[in-house]
Structure 1
């Protein structure tokens, strides 16, 4: 690896950290510690993982804009951080839910700040999953995406850490589809 590539990677990493930390402390920290803090058993862990995800997202965006390839160790670290954050977001909740199944498609359009937050999270947190399937056929992707969304909602129902909600599944599938489309266009 020559000096120019090393300096470019260092610049991308530094820029990603600065932008990720700025976004985190100006925006995400207030959301996760404010009105939504009651949702999580360990909000501090969620905050640190959120910071990691924000840095990773900026790293990927800046790398894409500059047309540089993401080194494999950084890619694997990104997958680990994303997986940890997604796991904490989905399964590290307080047990305040009953065994409820909501099959009414009625709550997709958000009306309150909480609904806007969950709408955004339910779509954008699943974009990377669709992106990971970019090299697979569309049929394989659809089957895998449905199984993933169904599995997440089922786990939330069984362990009483969420509600089996068809609206969440539709938004999760939309996010995965968006990631798949972006990945296929980039391929």
Structure 2
């Protein structure tokens, strides 16, 4: 009980600076992008702040968890559970519900370069970062893992195209797979490996 109280106290301490950092990042880099994705339920121009607050609080919780994990080389299991559920729910939304009714085809795997050159780097970064957690869960990279990962990404893009849920984009597949590889390489770092190893204890 004493340890749990100490964990909660540390989370509160870590959350204070994390909140202001996440608020700055959200307002300056993410808010307009989020409003494009959630336009049905979210309009910041009309003073609709509940969605923004929920996102900032979730990002704050994520940052506080990262700080705690880096200090203690472990993640509280309940924190991991909350973040895992939040991640997969938002991942499903962004993959299948943010572009309902649209359909397109892009077979250029390096189309993201033009996005960088035109100042749309946030979208490119998002496509990489959002798949890092999947790579963090991979203990060992093999041909089988690569085939499953690439096959799953092609399946996702195919569903987006055939069911009018977005664009079949080879550039997205390249970026998403890069995120998975990046997450795996992070997992290889000894401290991060210990953090995820603590979840088994």
TM-score category by the smaller chain?
A: 0.7 to 0.9
* Partner secondary structure for residue 112 of structure 2: coil
The alignment covers a number of residue pairs equal to 182
Please tell me whether the aligned partners of residues 42 and 92 of structure 1 are also in contact (alpha carbons under 8 angstroms).
no
Please tell me whether the aligned partners of residues 161 and 168 of structure 2 are also in contact (alpha carbons under 8 angstroms).
yes
Give, in angstroms, the shift of residue 165 of structure 1. 0.5
Residue in structure 2 matched with residue 13 of structure 1 by the alignment: 11
Residue in structure 2 matched with residue 39 of structure 1 by the alignment: 37
Q: Structure 2 unaligned runs (5+)?
A: 43-47, 194-201
The CA distance in 1 between the partners of 2:57 and 2:147, in whole Å, is 30
Give, in angstroms, the shift of residue 38 of structure 1. 2.9
Q: Which one scores higher on RCO, CA 8 angstroms, separation ≥ 6? A: 2
Give, in angstroms, the shift of residue 78 of structure 1. 1.1
Please tell me whether the aligned partners of residues 96 and 161 of structure 1 are also in contact (alpha carbons under 8 angstroms).
yes
More moved, 155-164 vs 135-144: 135-144
Pick closer, same or farther for the CA change 1:152–1:59 going to 2, 3 Å. Answer: farther
Residue in structure 2 matched with residue 153 of structure 1 by the alignment: 157
Give, in angstroms, the shift of residue 137 of structure 1. 4.2
Please point out which of 148, 160, 178 is paired with 2:182.
178
Work out which of the two has the higher radius of gyration on C-alpha atoms and give 1 or 2. Answer: 2
What are the within-5 Å matches in structure 2 for residues 78-117 of structure 1?
78-95=83-100, 97-98=102-103, 100-109=104-113, 110-113=116-119, 115-117=120-122
Please tell me whether the aligned partners of residues 150 and 177 of structure 2 are also in contact (alpha carbons under 8 angstroms).
yes
Over 6 Å off, 4+ runs: none
| TM-score (ref. length: structure 2) | 0.75
Please tell me whether the aligned partners of residues 130 and 145 of structure 1 are also in contact (alpha carbons under 8 angstroms).
no
Tell me how large the CA RMSD over aligned residues is: 2.7
More moved, 154-163 vs 34-43: 34-43
